[in-house]
Amino acid sequence: MIATLPMYDWAEVRPATDRYWGLIRDALRDHGLPAPEALDRSGGYTEAWLRPDLVLSQTCGLPYRAALHGRVTLVGAPDYGLPDTPPGYYHSVLVVAADREGTPADFFGARLAINGFDSQSGWGAPQNFAAAAGAAFADIVVTGAHVHSAQAVAEGRADIAAIDAQSWRLVERHRPVWAARLRILARTPPTPATPYITALSHDPAPYALAVASAIAALSEADRAALDLRGFERVPASAYLAVPTPALPAQHAGDLRAN
């Protein structure tokens, strides 16, 4: 069996994440459910999502609706207490160089740094934001991670990036030099936050209860490090309702689990 919590597993918060998992693990065992002693960080985290022995993992809204729905069990979504955002939802911030002026419309033709084409916050959110204005981002650089997208804009290798609001908090907290070189240009409409999943054969209810109880039991320091405020049973229909943008023609073969 395997458990992973890869979405915000920065080295700076890893001890808090491990303690958080310990609380989830113990709550699952109290419900008579097996759970591994520690999180697995041994390989690419996408491989865990479809394992029949998956206990718990966290994915992204775009791969959930595009590839995982009907093949895993949705448990729910964490609430990061983001301002002006419903519990269990998040949004992306569009960041540009601090010394660059302009409105979002001025950047639709600029070079967009994304963590991956399977990222709701990095790819889906900015493209849907542009589409609402009758535009699109076409010049794309793939960085592999939100933190690398922030760095690319800070260093002038890209003009704009979409970073989910929780990742942006981590950038501001742990990469302040880069954050100081950036400014928030706009924010995208909220969508359901990065969901927790378990194997298709599992009843989600006890897993949701275990996660909710673990969040409630976090120490003040770990709660501050992880920004966890609660857990919401966001339905699958809310994820499936979010549009999935088409890939640019020159990147049609680039979709990968990231």
User: Which residues does 73 contact at the CB level (< 8 Å), separation at least 6?
Assistant: 197, 198, 199, 200, 201, 202, 203, 204, 207
The pLDDT value recorded for residue 165 is 97
pLDDT confidence tier of residue 196, bands split at 50, 70 and 90: very high
Query: Rounded to the nearest 10 degrees, how much is the dihedral formed by the CA atoms of 218, 198, 188, 162?
Result: 90
Stretch among 54-68, 154-168, 235-249 having the lowest mean pLDDT: 235-249
All domains in the chain, ordered by first residue:
2-82+192-240 (3.40.190), 92-189 (3.40.190.10)
**Mean pLDDT of all residues in 2-28:** 97
Residue 82 has pLDDT above 70, yes or no: yes
The pLDDT value recorded for residue 34 is 98
Between helix 146-154 and helix 165-174 the angle, nearest 10°, is: 60
Give 239-253 pLDDT, tens digit per residue. 999 999 988 765 555
Residue 257 has pLDDT above 70, yes or no: no
